[in-house]
Structure 1
Amino acid sequence: MAIMRAEEIMGEPQLDKARHVKYWTRCLKTLLPHHYTSNESNRMYLAHFIVSALDLLGALDNMLTNDERQGYIDWIYRCQHPDGGFRMWPGTDFGARANRENARWDPANIPATYFALATLLILKDDFKRINRRDTLAWLPRMQRPDGSFGETLVSDRIEGGQDPRFGYCAAGIRYMLRGTNEGDIMVEGQTVRDVDVDAFVRCVRLAEAHDGGIADAPFHEPHAGYTFCAVGALAFVDRLNTRGPPAEQPPTAPCDPQAVLSWLVYRQTELTDPDAGVDSEFVKSQDTSHTRKKRDGMTSEAQIDGTVPAHQDPECSVGVTMFDLLVDGAGMNGRINKVADTCYGFWAGASLHVMQQPNLYHREAVRRYLLGKTQHPVLGGHGKFPGDLPDLLHSYLGLAALSLAGSDQVKEVDGGMCLSKEARSRLPAIWESFATAT
């Protein structure tokens, strides 16, 4: 008697949309779980996940009254810094008591500014209240001589890490407020200096690893999150190299796009249990008709071998749900020999989309992994690993990854900006209003 697959018995796992909407509605309308108390000073990015998730689920417009929508917009502008950029939350604003002595405790923040602008875009704001001139003037001051960007500016000293996360946010801010045109521009009658795009591209090049991924710094281990931030930022500044040797005038990156694509393809794995041992080798014995079709459709610039992960030994699996034991799904990991994790379905998957090779990973398997293994069956949302409780980061990136993997139950996601294509489509009208105002 033939053994039937779980999908044949139970049907392919589906997004429990009602539970997800309920989960995100609780996050928006009530107090967040106590675990987020320590993240109070990061409220802007939590707000972005909540608002954007409801947008992806198609529930935001029906859920908000006009007054509520305007209230959320006003709260974001409440976090705008008088010298340009945005704070992560209003708690550092000294108001009338602000002075040069306490200014160091109230800096604008690069990630907060990106999340603020992106959330305003989702909420259909027209950007007319943004301090565009000072924000664009602030960006070059956040760039170091090596091309990297920091997080905050404290007493004229750049603070924060040097990894691509800040470069991605800085490039995204620049993109939303001026598009991809390089060079100094006139804003409100004043000349505003551009960031050093060439220096940033060289910074990314130095972080490319020998095996194809991109790290946070030269000679460090590559990581799918850093790889996404690097290629996403390069796309924002129109310097992304997707084929062949990079251009030198102006410089583009990555230097070896084929190596980056290969490294990203091998982030797909069926290893889901941290205690299950080393991941199986990628084998050609699983060259199914789906895989052959995927490989045959690849362009000559990306002749990856087209193999898919071998099955994890079922005896090593620790099942949490029926689907966790039976579903033939393969998620994505962030580094070599690591288990699959919900968020890397986006970080690795979106990187392939930004690199213009969305067919180089098994999208159906990613959907099965996210829906059958990390979607919480009771609370809605997604956990990091199978059986984990949902959290805002993984629940949001799970939805975004599902969209990129072809789910028709969420809005189409723009992989480069990590928000709906519908929201990004509002940018051209905003840019036109900037040109008219200038």
Structure 2
Amino acid sequence: MSHPLLTWADAALPEMLDDLEHLIRCESPSADLTAVARSADLVSAIGQRRLGFAPERLVIDGVTHLRWRLGSPAPDAPRVLLLAHHDTVWPIGSIETHPYSIQDGVIRGPGCFDMQTGLVMGIHAAATFADGRGGQLSNAAITLLVTGDEEIGSPTSRALIEQEARGCVATLVLEAAGDGPDGRPGALKIGRKGVSNYRVDIIGRAAHAGTEPEKGLNATVELAHQIGVVLGFADPEAGTSVVPTVAHSGTTTNTVPARASFMVDVRAHTVAEQARVDEAFARLTSHTGATVTVSGGVNRPPLETSAAEGVWQRARAVSKDLGLELADAIVVGGASDGNFTAGVGVPTLDGLGAVGGGAHADHEHAYVDEIAPRTALLVALLRDLLAG
């Protein structure tokens, strides 16, 4: 006999798919603030219909975020943060080139996997507590926070996310699941690398490359040296990657370059590794006599596995009660807003949204038959966490 939560989720699936179609068709590229505001209007309307009340609308530097708070207002009440975003990477017009469809159980359309499906699941899971089907919140609380700038690094929402997370029992991140160790989709994420970004600027001295190159100070030569030094900061055994990306140097083919710069992407599993690399960048010195300046630093702390392990074990236990089999959890290189919540010391489990693949790519897709059981899992996990 099917678990009552699975029965409920199966019955709710048509409504979830209807909400999802509307969200996918309402395009929301992060940099288009008008589009993000329009998307927030739609998310607000869907949430009000399902939860029974409108969210707080939080506009920060023009970016629209939404917050629903359910249950006890007592500051000491156990609270879980459901964390989602409604912005996508897809530019306006993508719905024409990548139309919404469901065929053979596969959903396609811009943002279906990252992360409109997870957002819909979060709304419907929270709704079960709003009307009492999921459980009573007289002595507990849930916050559903939906941000509008995750895809560009959460510049306006980071402080809001950290504020909402502090004091919570746990944060459940509705980003999509990943591929498990055996390649099967659907793995929850118990670790994400932290991200640091650096810019190295070099100032040399220009001169004519043909008549008096000796009077110049070649910024390109210094750039080449510094790239070699920076590559040495990586530690493959620790999982720390240091990748020079965008580089610029010089002005014309017959001029000794006076200026150069390059960007570096750093990913690390631990705070200690982030700090080690940050200190190494601070010690960069010139090889040729050119001026070397470093800017940037840590963008997102890592979601270390220690922050996720307890919630992951509870997710495994409640999944067994539902009769579901979860794949082994994974650690991934990409970051999410869960990095911020783990960074302020809150237990965090990620990847509780869509099952599918192709994030940001032409083949982005999500599987219909995974939506109901994963939403039931979300409700069961919320119950468990709030019950202590």
Which protein is richer in strand relative to its size?
Answer: 2
Indicate whether the TM-score tops 0.5: no
Q: TM-score by structure 1 length?
A: 0.26
Q: TM-score, normalised by structure 2?
A: 0.28
Greater gyration radius: 2
Structure number with the higher helix fraction is 1
Higher relative contact order (CA 8 A, sep 6+): 2
